[in-house]
Amino acid sequence: MSDKFDVVVIGGGPGGYVAAIRAAQLGLKTACIDKYINKNGKATFGGTCLNVGCIPSKALLDTSHKFHDANEEFETHGISVKKVEIDVPRMIQRKDEVVDKLTFGVAGLFKSNGVTPFEGTGKLLAGKKVEFTDHSGKTTILEAQNVIIATGSVPVEIPPAPLKDDIIVDSTGALEFQTTPKRLGVIGAGVIGLELGSVWNRLGSEVIVLEAQDEFLSVVDRQIAREASKVFKKQGLDIRVGARVTGTDIKRKQVTVSYTDKDGEQEVVVDKLIVAVGRRPYTEGLLSVDSGVSLDERGFIFVNEQCATDVPGVFAIGDVVRGPMLAHKASEEGVMVAERIADQKAQVNYDLVPSVIYTHPEISWVGKTEDELKAAGEDYKTGFFPFSASGRALAANDTDGMVKIIADEKTDRILGCHIIGPNAADLCQQILISMEFGSTAEDIGLTMFPHPALCEAVHEAALAVNGHAIHKANRRK
């Protein structure tokens, strides 16, 4: 049996399902294949992001933040709450309800846009044929004019800490704890490690984060990273850098984690251990030997700037290709590829891919850091504004962090924005849009912002670039 399509998408995550919907909107007969089965045994689309990544982790982050506020912050506002308790199973249930609503929504979007869903696995064969195998084992060959590979990524496992039941878990397992661990270990102080560590820290766990790198948040602007380290320490996160895990031992439902640091061999005993050392592209069983698609030395599918592989008509997007593993990057690539297949001129600006860590305060950035500009020998200037000087932040008792803007010394064009603070992701997006249109710091300074609002910190940071900040002292030049 053979079915013919203009576009077959392998993978139904934020890159794949978006690509499929956009292709269908452009009048292309489109199919989307995904093999994910949720914990209730139901096939769902949405990929890691909707099922076990971005969305469920944010649900837990929001619940835990509300619990923390009720316990620690309400009294500051004159609100008295007696004996606040957390029902962890109910929190997990709510997380699942959010996930179900969104994954069901993808199915509805497929139906309304005319995308044909296939529940099972896809394998790319020679000649742009896709072997589809449903969950019962039945095989069908789909013939495609174009194929988009969007199979995403999976958590990296490390030999010193093999996963074990619900004691040593990856990021997926960390979303399913039914009780709050008394002592929680996290291997990796990246986005996933910090977010999951924050969830359980707010709920009462003593959290120890072991980071192999000697520098905390090495991809983040140094000034912002230092501020983050200070804030997280104040919150109670025990972050140990230069800590390289060498082994684990489970006894009496506790994990002894062995690691080395600058002082030699160390041990820490925890009740649960989360392994969050990164993710790797998922390509197992994806490509036949004669498919013509190449992998690079790190296992990513090789593509050009337009996400085209070596095979004409075969594209790859998202976590399975070069660049940051971010849902929004995958989505934009999905739209770009669908539009290019439809002969539209589309492109992704890879210089302006925003990043966010959804701790509290949030951390968000786009563009260049000071270290990158120094290494390139570029002349630049900076301006920053602390949230402690923001009237809106003070009113909300949410004053940790700052906004930092970097601009070219001569042209004043904005080169980067780095924020740690309340609503950092939304505030950073304001500058991202400005950067997309080539704005200068002066342009932002001349723009009117509402008062009182958190976004005034962005305005003041832009003014500070040229020594014109109103609500803080300016640096002498």
- Which stretches of 368-450 are assigned E, i.e. beta strand? 380-386, 402-408, 414-421
DSSP 61-92: HHHHHHHHIIIIIGGGGT----S----HHHHH
CB contact set of 145 (below 8 Å; sequence gap of 6+)? 5, 6, 7, 128, 313
Rounded Cα distance between 96 and 54, Å, is 13
Strands 168-169 and 272-275: what pairing? parallel
The total of other beta-carbon atoms located within 10 Å of residue 409's CB is 11
CB contact set of 375 (below 8 Å; sequence gap of 6+)? none
pLDDT for residue 226 is more than 70: yes
Residue 475: predicted pLDDT: 82
Residue 402: predicted pLDDT: 98
DSSP 267-282: EEEESEEEE-S-EEE-
Rounded Cα distance between 453 and 472, Å, is 16
Rounded Cα distance between 152 and 329, Å, is 12
CATH numbers and ranges of domains, the chain: 2-155+280-341 (3.50.50.60), 168-277 (3.50.50.60), 361-465 (3.30.390.30)
CB contact set of 254 (below 8 Å; sequence gap of 6+)? 269, 270, 271
pLDDT tens-digit profile of 283-301? 999 999 999 999 999 999 9
pLDDT tens-digit profile of 246-292? 999 999 999 999 999 999 999 999 999 999 999 999 999 999 999 99
pLDDT tens-digit profile of 165-214? 999 999 999 999 999 999 999 999 999 999 999 999 999 999 999 999 99
The rounded mean pLDDT for the chain is: 97
Whether the upstream peptide bond of residue 361 has omega within 30° of 0, thus cis, is yes
- Give the DSSP H or E segment for 254: strand 254-261
Rounded Cα distance between 154 and 145, Å, is 28
Residue 225: predicted pLDDT: 98
Residue 1: predicted pLDDT: 42
Token digits for 287?
């490509």
pLDDT tens-digit profile of 4-45? 999 999 999 999 999 999 999 999 999 999 999 999 999 999
Q: Which amino acid is at 444?
A: I
Residue 228: predicted pLDDT: 98
pLDDT for residue 56 is more than 50: yes
Residue 477: predicted pLDDT: 62
Please compute the mean of the pLDDT values over residues 157-172 and round it to a whole number: 97
**Which pLDDT band, with edges at 50, 70 and 90, does 223 fall under?**
very high
Residue labelled with tokens 């994806």: 286
**Which pLDDT band, with edges at 50, 70 and 90, does 476 fall under?**
confident
Rounded Cα distance between 284 and 286, Å, is 5
Chain center to CA of 69: 24
pLDDT tens-digit profile of 71-106? 999 999 999 998 899 999 999 999 999 999 999 999
Helix (H, G, I), strand (E, B) or coil at 253: coil
Give me the percent of the chain exceeding a pLDDT of 90: 98
Q: Are 160 and 21 in contact (CB under 8 A)?
A: no
Rounded Cα distance between 172 and 187, Å, is 14
Is residue 1 packed enough to be buried (19+ CB in 10 Å), middle (13-18) or exposed (0-12)? exposed
Rounded Cα distance between 23 and 27, Å, is 7
Residue 2: predicted pLDDT: 56
Rounded Cα distance between 16 and 357, Å, is 23
pLDDT tens-digit profile of 386-398? 999 999 999 999 9
Residue 151: predicted pLDDT: 98
pLDDT tens-digit profile of 321-380? 999 999 999 999 999 999 999 999 999 999 999 999 999 999 999 999 999 999 999 999
Rounded Cα distance between 430 and 405, Å, is 12
Annotated catalytic residues are 451
Query: In angstroms, what CA-CA distances link 285 with 120, 150, 280, 465?
Result: 13, 14, 15, 52
Rounded Cα distance between 442 and 375, Å, is 25
Query: Sheet holding 402-408: strands in order across?
Result: 355-357, 362-367, 414-421, 402-408, 380-386
The total of other beta-carbon atoms located within 10 Å of residue 397's CB is 11
Residue 454: predicted pLDDT: 98
Rounded Cα distance between 416 and 372, Å, is 10
